[in-house]
């Protein structure tokens, strides 16, 4: 068989039939884009996901499942089952094996964004991605009881600047009817975007949270029992409880020992989780869905390939004369067969190239929009090996299904060739 | 394949007691014996159904005889494998069909040079490049240079048949097999086409076997054979 001749014939033949073939190629292109896109975004999301928190050895909260604790403490999703006593938190701080702790107190919100009560240690110890620390586009970490730091998305979406004043809402609903109107907070700083839930949160001091809840012990403000901001400053504002704590262990080998000890604490029922393990478990659950999605898009590609072969088979009827001529000038049945296989493979290859271009275009155009509206950061990058494999599988599949028209052509040749 | 000495001395075509049977049919066609010297032109005449086209298919190795002897250029075609027959056809034979002779997605020149791309022997036998050879053949067959790069679907039937003739003749094949190549042409065009084809073939020492039901063509040929109606 003569490959250069076959190849040039296949190319000329495809170009000759471009009108009909453009549509099936488009179908295949879209389905390959879908398949590749799902895998690409899957990789990206997983990356972003595992980058959410780093450097923290343990997360400690009230007794609950590790996923629940991870979700509310790191992703600010759902609510804590219970709080942990300030006393328990203090005992963590005193533990010599524990290098640092970061208190986290949740429960309020600002226009749907979670309010995180914490202290300076959050800025010092919270890390994301490859150990990146938080930094500011403007201003500084809160220094006063009534100062607030905004995550990047919060500031951008609500168009807040330093040093505007904002009023927090009681509870975590997107629309709240109970606002802490008496205690406005001044914006002291705005964080740089991180691509993590940090961007969607609002940070205040534990004391600030304590102050605005004086007189709210029953869940609503009782008139006469609340205090003004000025008076509050003079009060003892140490919280009685917090929601969770991030913990850094001095010697990492002690992590499991500390975890076990916290889980068996005498003070109150506590749960300590390893963030990495919990993230993995969460991803395993989410991953089921994504694998299913990938499987479905795989079938979409298979369907498109079948459509492609159907069109090639339909075109075969028009090609009887042409094949007869090629046979007459000495083309072997193998050459005719490889012409069909090659055409199918080339179309699949073209679809893959178009899908790559289309995918790159979509990511460039939709990336910023995704990041802004859904907080999903999808960057343009080179494909990883899995993605190349998926992409390469398409022309290979094209080659395999191309044997169908080739086989049929050869069967017909045996019956009806010649003059 | 065949050694050169054998090819050079053998007649172009020799058949003995050749019979053919359509697959699944009872009818057996028996052909008269043919001996055609090299460079000679043979006219095969017969009514429809007399097996003319089938004989051409057998001569170029696309159909298999049921029995008998079939030797083309010293090569016993019936003894060759299917793959070797394909290569033999590419190397030694040119073919012209009744119509639809051209590959629709190749231009005129590419259609003519096609045999040179499938056969090293044909390519080596052209002086200069296949494209130059195609040009001189097309010119000799009366096609204007303006038509050489046009899509073949834009050519008239008469022009298409001449392109087919150029393709059959390129690279000096030993035998050109033509099946009713003039049936779609008017009388003037028909005679002109035959003159060009046979003249050009003679010039390069190629035998032509032409099949037609029209006995008026016989006077252009060195010999003619009549096939009877199927019995």
Closest CA to B195 of B41, B38, B55: B41
Domains of chain B: 4-226 (3.40.50.300)
> Are the Cβ atoms of B118 and A329 closer than 8 angstroms?
yes
- Give yes or no for a contact between A183 and A232, defined as CB atoms under 8 angstroms apart: yes
Closest chain A C-alpha to B173 CA, distance in angstroms = 11
CB-count burial class (<10 Å; 0-12, 13-18, 19+) for B145 = exposed
| Model pLDDT, residue B185 | 83
Name which of B105, B108, B211 to mutate to probe chain A: the one with the most chain A Cβ atoms within 10 A of its Cβ.
B105
| Model pLDDT, residue A120 | 93
* B40 contact partners, CB below 8 Å, separation of at least 6: B12, B207, B222, B223
Rounded Cα distance between B101 and B108, Å, is 11
- Chain B residues with CB under 8 Å of a chain A CB are 23, 53-54, 56-57, 60, 62-63, 82-83, 86-87, 89-91, 93, 95, 97, 100-106, 110, 114-115, 117-119, 167, 177, 179, 211
| Model pLDDT, residue B4 | 45
Strands in B223-226's sheet, in edge-to-edge order, are B93-96, B175-179, B207-212, B41-45, B223-226
Closest CA to A27 of A395, A355, A336: A355
Rounded Cα distance between B93 and A330, Å, is 9
| Model pLDDT, residue A147 | 94
Closest chain B C-alpha to A395 CA, distance in angstroms = 24
* Tens-binned pLDDT, residue by residue, of chain B (231 aa): 444 444 457 788 999 988 988 877 788 888 899 999 988 999 998 887 788 888 998 998 888 888 889 999 988 988 998 889 999 999 999 999 988 889 999 989 999 999 999 998 999 988 889 999 999 999 888 888 888 888 888 888 888 999 999 999 999 899 999 998 888 888 888 888 899 899 999 988 999 999 988 888 888 898 999 887 654
Q: From residue A315, how far is each of A271, A332, B14 by CA, in Å?
A: 67, 20, 40
> Are the Cβ atoms of B53 and A419 closer than 8 angstroms?
yes
SS (H, E, C) B124-192: HHCCCCHHHHHHHHHHHCCCCHHHCCCEHHHCCHHHHHHHHHHHHHCCCCCEEEEECCCCCCCHHHHHH
Q: Helix A385-415 to helix A333-374 angle, to the nearest 10 degrees?
A: 150
Rounded Cα distance between A148 and A278, Å, is 30
B82 chain-A contacts, CB cut-off 8 A: 332-333
Closest chain A C-alpha to B54 CA, distance in angstroms = 7
Rounded Cα distance between A48 and A60, Å, is 23
SS3 A129: coil
Closest CA to B93 of B135, B121, B69, B65: B121
Rounded Cα distance between A97 and A250, Å, is 6
Rounded Cα distance between A23 and A28, Å, is 9
DSSP B1: -
Rounded Cα distance between A350 and B185, Å, is 43
* B76 contact partners, CB below 8 Å, separation of at least 6: B69, B70
Rounded Cα distance between A162 and A138, Å, is 7
Rounded-to-10 torsion of CA B50, B55, B58, B63: -20
| Model pLDDT, residue B21 | 86
Q: Which stretches of chain A drop beneath a pLDDT of 70?
A: 1, 173-176, 375, 414-418
Of B62, B100, B106, which has the smallest distance from its Cβ to A417's Cβ? B62
- Give yes or no for a contact between B109 and B79, defined as CB atoms under 8 angstroms apart: no
Helices (H), A235-332: 255-263, 275-316, 320-328
SS3 A233: helix
Domain ranges, ordered by start, for chain A: 3-50+282-415, 58-273
* B175 contact partners, CB below 8 Å, separation of at least 6: B12, B13, B36, B59, B72, B73, B92, B93, B94, B206, B207, B208, B209
| Model pLDDT, residue B8 | 57
CB-count burial class (<10 Å; 0-12, 13-18, 19+) for B21 = middle
* A177 contact partners, CB below 8 Å, separation of at least 6: none
| Model pLDDT, residue A175 | 66
Cβ density class A342-361: b for 16+ within 10 Å, e for less: bbbbbbbebbbebbbebbee
Name which of B81, B83, B86 to mutate to probe chain A: the one with the most chain A Cβ atoms within 10 A of its Cβ.
B86
Closest CA to A21 of A277, A348, A370, A322: A348
Cβ density class B179-196: b for 16+ within 10 Å, e for less: bbbbeebeeebbebbbeb
| Model pLDDT, residue A418 | 66
B121 chain-A contacts, CB cut-off 8 A: none
| Model pLDDT, residue B5 | 40
> Are the Cβ atoms of A5 and B117 closer than 8 angstroms?
yes
Rounded Cα distance between A74 and A198, Å, is 8
A412 chain-B contacts, CB cut-off 8 A: none
| Model pLDDT, residue A52 | 86
- Give yes or no for a contact between B125 and B90, defined as CB atoms under 8 angstroms apart: no
Closest chain A C-alpha to B86 CA, distance in angstroms = 5
| Separation of CA A117 from chain center | 25
Nearest CA in chain A to B98: A419
- Give yes or no for a contact between A361 and B149, defined as CB atoms under 8 angstroms apart: no
Of A321, A329, A330, which has the smallest distance from its Cβ to B100's Cβ? A321
Closest CA to A134 of A193, A57, A197: A193
Of B54, B60, B87, which has the smallest distance from its Cβ to A328's Cβ? B60
- Give yes or no for a contact between A116 and A204, defined as CB atoms under 8 angstroms apart: yes
């Amino acid at each position: 068989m003569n490959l250069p001749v076959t190849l040039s014939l296949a190319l000329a033949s495809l170009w000759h039939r471009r009108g009909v073939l453009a549509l099936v190629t488009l179908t295949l292109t879209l389905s390959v884009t879908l398949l590749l896109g799902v895998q690409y975004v899957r990789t990206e999301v997983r990356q972003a996901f595992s980058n959410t928190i780093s450097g923290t050895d343990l997360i400690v909260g009230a007794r609950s499942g590790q996923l629940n604790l991870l979700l509310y403490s790191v992703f600010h999703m759902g609510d804590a089952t219970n709080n942990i006593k300030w006393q328990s938190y203090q005992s963590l701080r005193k533990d010599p094996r524990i290098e640092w702790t970061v208190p986290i107190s949740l429960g309020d919100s600002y226009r749907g964004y979670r309010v995180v009560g914490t202290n300076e240690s959050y800025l010092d110890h919270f890390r994301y991605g490859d150990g990146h620390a938080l930094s500011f586009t403007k201003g500084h970490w809160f220094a006063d009881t009534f100062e607030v730091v905004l995550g990047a998305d919060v500031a951008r979406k609500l168009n807040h600047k330093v040093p505007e004043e904002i009023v927090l809402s009681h509870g975590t609903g997107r629309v709240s009817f109970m606002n802490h109107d008496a205690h406005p907070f001044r914006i002291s700083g705005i964080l740089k975007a991180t691509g993590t839930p940090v961007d969607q949160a609002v940070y205040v001091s534990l004391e600030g949270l304590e102050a605005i809840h004086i007189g709210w012990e029953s869940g609503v403000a009782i008139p006469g029992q609340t205090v003004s901001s000025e008076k509050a400053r003079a009060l003892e504002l140490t919280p009685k409880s917090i929601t969770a704590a991030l913990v850094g262990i001095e010697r990492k080998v002690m992590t499991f020992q500390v975890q076990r000890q916290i889980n068996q604490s005498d003070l109150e029922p506590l749960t300590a989780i390893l963030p990495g393990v919990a993230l993995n478990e969460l991803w395993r659950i989410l991953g089921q869905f994504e694998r299913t999605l990938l499987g479905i898009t795989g079938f979409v590609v298979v369907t498109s390939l079948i459509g492609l072969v159907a069109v090639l088979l339909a075109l075969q009827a028009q090609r009887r004369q042409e094949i007869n001529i090629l046979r007459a000038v000495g083309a072997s049945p193998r050459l005719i067969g490889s012409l069909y296989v090659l055409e199918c493979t080339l179309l699949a290859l073209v679809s893959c190239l178009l899908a790559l271009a289309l995918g790159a275009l979509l990511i460039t155009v939709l990336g910023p929009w995704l990041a802004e509206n859904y907080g999903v950061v999808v960057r343009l990058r080179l494909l990883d090996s899995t993605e190349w494999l998926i992409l390469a599988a398409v022309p290979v599949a094209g080659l395999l299904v191309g044997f169908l028209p080739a086989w049929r052509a050869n069967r017909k040749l045996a019956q009806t060739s010649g003059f | 394949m065949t050694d050169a000495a054998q090819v050079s001395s053998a007649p172009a075509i020799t058949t003995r007691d050749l019979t053919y049977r359509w697959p699944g049919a009872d009818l057996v066609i028996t052909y008269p014996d043919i001996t055609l010297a090299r460079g000679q032109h043979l006219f095969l005449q017969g009514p429809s159904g007399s097996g003319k086209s089938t004989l051409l298919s057998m001569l170029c190795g696309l159909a298999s005889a049921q029995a008998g002897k079939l030797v083309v250029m010293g090569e016993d075609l019936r003894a060759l494998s299917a793959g070797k027959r394909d290569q033999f056809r590419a190397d030694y034979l040119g073919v012209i069909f009744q119509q639809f002779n051209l590959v629709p997605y190749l231009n005129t020149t590419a259609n003519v040079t096609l045999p040179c791309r499938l056969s090293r022997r044909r390519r080596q036998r052209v002086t200069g490049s296949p494209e130059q050879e195609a040009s001189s053949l097309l010119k000799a067959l009366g096609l204007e240079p303006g038509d050489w790069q046009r899509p073949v679907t834009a050519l008239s039937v008469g022009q298409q048949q001449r392109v087919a003739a150029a393709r059959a003749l390129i690279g000096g094949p030993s035998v050109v097999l033509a099946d009713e190549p003039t049936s779609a042409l008017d009388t003037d065009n028909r005679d002109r086409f035959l003159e060009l084809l046979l003249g050009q073939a003679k010039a390069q020492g190629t035998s032509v076997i032409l099949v037609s039901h029209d006995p008026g063509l016989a006077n252009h040929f060195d010999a003619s054979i009549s096939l009877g109606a199927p019995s």
